[in-house]
Amino acid sequence: MNGFINVNKPAGITSSDVVVRLRRKLIGISGNKKIKVGHMGTLDPAAEGVLVIAVGNAAKLFDYFIEKKKVYTAEFTFGKTTDTLDREGKFTAENGRLPDMDELKAAAKKLAGEVWQIPPAYSAKSVGGVRAYDRARRGEDFEIPAKKVSITDVSIVSFDGERAEVTVECKGGVYIRSIARDLGALCGTAAYMSALKRTRAGAFKIEDAAELDALLNGEINLIPTEFILEEFPKFDADISLFERLNNGARPRIDGMPKGNFVLYCGGKLFGIAEGESGELIVKTRLIGNDG
């Protein structure tokens, strides 16, 4: 049992909650108590939208998935903020100043690109070997180092004088709560993320996502592993090489694509590979035990 589930995560539960519930369901279907189930990028408990769940060997593709484009629709509230930078936290600052639409649009342009972003204090980032949210809950003073992230676009869709609807396109590792904080700071005020919905994660779109309750109470049809590999070049090695590849050999083969490619062997998906100096090197195996 290998593949993906595109879940429309409801607000109010953690991404781990979704994984636990679906894993229980999949164990009941497969009878395999060791089946691997995990998400391909967390959503905060207060957030909703696309949560991609990987099943079996599909979980090995996380590193290839994390850099895919993600799209969010968020609501930012200005003039005040919270300790968690979202609606779940306690209000910590209020200056009352509200920006106008022109200010917001000008500031939003400054947040796009390859930029340095400081994660929220209430995040899973490790600081001195301890999760930042654990330090924050204990009231400790600490600093989280900024990290370089890729934000394609920050657009202000609408603004009612206090709350703005914002769309964000970015790669993995971006904190939308931090964008709310930074957008407010650029406008000389405070801000926090009051709502968040992920509408796309790589090839997975919100319009194709299944409701969690429907999955738990009905059938689960896994999306094939190849779904997120469509953009990779493909190469089919002769079936006579299967045992050698399965044992870690690096046979010399002509005609392989450059860079990473999807490797088939005798027409069956084998994994992600690359050709280096004519050698076929398997980087990620997608065949065999799906655990």
Residue 290 lies in a domain: no
Residue 47 lies in a domain: yes
Q: What is the DSSP string of 13-75?
A: S-HHHHHHHHHHHHHHHH--TT--EEESS---TT-EEEEEEEEGGGGGGHHHHTTS-EEEEEE
Residue 210 lies in a domain: yes
Tell me what the pLDDT averaged over the chain comes to. Answer: 91
Asked whether residue 176 falls in the same domain as residue 75, the answer is yes
Please tell me the predicted confidence (pLDDT) of residue 75.
98
Please tell me the predicted confidence (pLDDT) of residue 4.
94
Residue 170 lies in a domain: yes
What tens digit of pLDDT does each residue of 225-250 get? 888 888 889 999 999 999 999 888 89
Q: What is the CATH number of the domain that holds 90?
A: 3.30.2350.10
Average pLDDT over residues 39-63: 90
The pLDDT > 70 percentage for the chain reads: 99
Asked whether residue 142 falls in the same domain as residue 180, the answer is yes
Domain extent for 93: 71-196
Q: What is the CATH number of the domain that holds 262?
A: 2.30.130.10
In the structure, what pLDDT confidence band is assigned to residue 179 with cuts at 50, 70 and 90? Answer: very high
Asked whether residue 19 falls in the same domain as residue 134, the answer is no
Structural domains of the chain, count = 3
277, pLDDT greater than 70: yes
CA distance 111 to 178: 10
47, pLDDT greater than 90: yes
Residue 291 lies in a domain: no
What tens digit of pLDDT does each residue of 116-171 get? 999 999 888 888 888 888 888 988 888 898 999 999 999 999 999 999 999 999 99
Please tell me the predicted confidence (pLDDT) of residue 172.
86
Residue 36 lies in a domain: yes
Please list the active-site residues. 44
Asked whether residue 142 falls in the same domain as residue 245, the answer is no
Asked whether residue 99 falls in the same domain as residue 137, the answer is yes
Please tell me the predicted confidence (pLDDT) of residue 289.
57
Asked whether residue 192 falls in the same domain as residue 79, the answer is yes
Please tell me the predicted confidence (pLDDT) of residue 62.
83
| Amino acid making up residue 279 | E
pTM above 0.85, yes or no: yes
Asked whether residue 51 falls in the same domain as residue 166, the answer is no
290, pLDDT greater than 60: no
Asked whether residue 264 falls in the same domain as residue 279, the answer is yes
What tens digit of pLDDT does each residue of 105-118 get? 999 999 999 999 99
Q: What is the DSSP string of 182-251?
A: HHHHHTTS-EEEEEEEEEEETTEEGGGPEEHHHHHHS---PBPGGGGGTTS-EEEE-GGGHHHHHTT---
